[in-house]
Amino acid sequence: MKLLKLVPDHTNIHFLKWRVPFYAISLLLIAASWGLVLTKGLNLGVDFVGGQMIRVTFVGKPDAPVASMRDEIAALGYGDPIIQRFGQPNEASIRMKLPEGSDERPDLANTMSQRITSALKTAHPEVRIDGVDSVSGKVSGELFQTGLLSLLFAMIAISIYIWVRFEWQFGVGGLFALFHDVSLTLGMFALTQLEFDLNIVAAILTIIGYSLNDTIVIYDRIRENLKKFRKMPLPELLDLSVNETLARTVMTSLTVLIALIPLLLFGPASLFGLTAAITLGIFVGTYSSIYMAAPLLIWFGVRSDSFVPTDTGRDQAERTARGEA
């Protein structure tokens, strides 16, 4: 069987030739993304703004009627519910934002849960209410703070890892690439006003992991080539390294997209935001590892002989004594 090759052998694409315009575009996109986040804001979900979760089981039925439940609850006027199956197919969870003014009047939240459970029991006599949990504004605020800190610490820890494994220039380059990816993802959520909940925090952590993996593969090849081609100009060496890893990059991205696109088009609504975030992350993560992480090494003053150990007089004397020089 003939092997499938999407990228020809020995490609010679001059990626670094366009590094300046691509940097300008990326900086504009980062600025626009943070401008949207600061002016338009994120559509924070129940996890971060507080709300209620109602767990139900449809006794004697094979599946929970998610579509009809969504219509019945939306008709009550409390907004669109987030309904997810969990455990058995006939079990589901319903998440709702708390009504406005519920911080001062807790009875509004109780009234909402009673109306929802009554509507479900009327439409589905076989439904069993397994529990009603409330997320207060204080707890949701702590969840939001914890989510942001987890993203920040993940990026710092990854940068330190790259710094220790390679050199500080690589660590800063990797950190900027991650900042680029996270900024554009947040900008997309601010622009589209898709719900931003804990699932999206998990998606961003996934994007950070994917982008890091791609960046380290390219950095590893750059390090190997720095040892092999000590007189090659750095832009040419970076182009060579990206071209040598291009087949791996394309195949990895393509296989992930094959799994994501059907889920994006036909998957449940509750997973749309998570799938959209990871799909965007595949593109921006691949782009940033080529056009952000690698070219920064030039501006940080990395040269082909930057990491070659300097030869001291004592080393020279020892080699002379051994007859090696």
Q: 142-151, pLDDT tens digit by residue?
A: 767 777 787 7
Residue 31 has a pLDDT of 95
Residue 307 has a pLDDT of 64
Mean predicted confidence (pLDDT) in 292-296: 84
Helix runs in the chain, H state only? 19-39, 46-49, 66-74, 106-123, 137-165, 168-192, 198-228, 234-244, 246-266, 272-288, 296-299, 313-321
With a threshold of 0.85, does the pTM exceed it? no
Do the beta carbons of residue 273 and residue 199 sit within 8 Å? yes
For residue 71, pLDDT beyond 80: yes
Note the pLDDT tens digit of each residue in 77-119. Answer: 888 888 877 667 888 888 887 777 776 777 787 888 888 889 9
Total count of residues recorded for the chain: 325
Residue 247 has a pLDDT of 85
Nearest residue to 240 (alpha-carbon basis) of 9, 11, 2: 11
Note the pLDDT tens digit of each residue in 216-254. Answer: 888 888 888 888 887 788 888 888 998 988 888 888 888
- What is the rounded radius of gyration, in angstroms, for the C-alpha atoms of the chain? 26
Q: Are strands 127-135 and 82-85 parallel, antiparallel or unpaired?
A: unpaired
Residue 166 has a pLDDT of 75
Of these ranges, 17-26, 37-46, 78-87, 138-147, the one predicted with the greatest mean pLDDT is 17-26
Residue 17 has a pLDDT of 84
DSSP string, 261-299: HHHHHHS-GGGHHHHHHHHHHHHHHHHHIIIIITTHHHH
- Separation of alpha carbons 131 and 117, rounded Å: 10
Residue 214 has a pLDDT of 85
Lowest mean pLDDT segment, chosen from 29-33, 152-156, 293-297: 152-156
Mean pLDDT of the chain: 81
Do the beta carbons of residue 295 and residue 16 sit within 8 Å? yes
Do the beta carbons of residue 91 and residue 65 sit within 8 Å? no
Confidence of residue 306 (pLDDT cuts 50, 70, 90): low
For residue 309, pLDDT beyond 70: no
Residue 274 has a pLDDT of 87
Lowest mean pLDDT segment, chosen from 60-64, 97-101, 133-137, 166-170: 133-137
DSSP string, 222-262: HHHHHHH-TTS-HHHHHHHHHHHTHHHHHHHHHHHHHHHHH
Do the beta carbons of residue 221 and residue 247 sit within 8 Å? no
Mean predicted confidence (pLDDT) in 144-165: 78
For residue 35, pLDDT beyond 90: yes
Note the pLDDT tens digit of each residue in 195-208. Answer: 787 788 888 888 88
For residue 55, pLDDT beyond 60: yes
Do the beta carbons of residue 96 and residue 116 sit within 8 Å? yes
Q: Which residues contact 83 (CB under 8 A, 6 or more apart)?
A: 64, 66, 69, 70, 73, 92, 93, 94, 95, 270
Cα–Cα distance list, 266 to 139, 259, 270 (Å)? 33, 12, 12
For residue 321, pLDDT beyond 80: no
Secondary structure letter of residue 116 according to DSSP: H
Between residues 178 and 308, the one the model is more confident about: 178
Q: Which residues contact 264 (CB under 8 A, 6 or more apart)?
A: 272, 275, 276, 279
- Separation of alpha carbons 235 and 241, rounded Å: 10
Confidence of residue 34 (pLDDT cuts 50, 70, 90): very high
What are 44's two structure tokens? 């924070």
Residue 29 has a pLDDT of 94
Q: Which residues contact 119 (CB under 8 A, 6 or more apart)?
A: 72, 73, 75, 76
Note the pLDDT tens digit of each residue in 171-186. Answer: 888 888 888 998 999 9
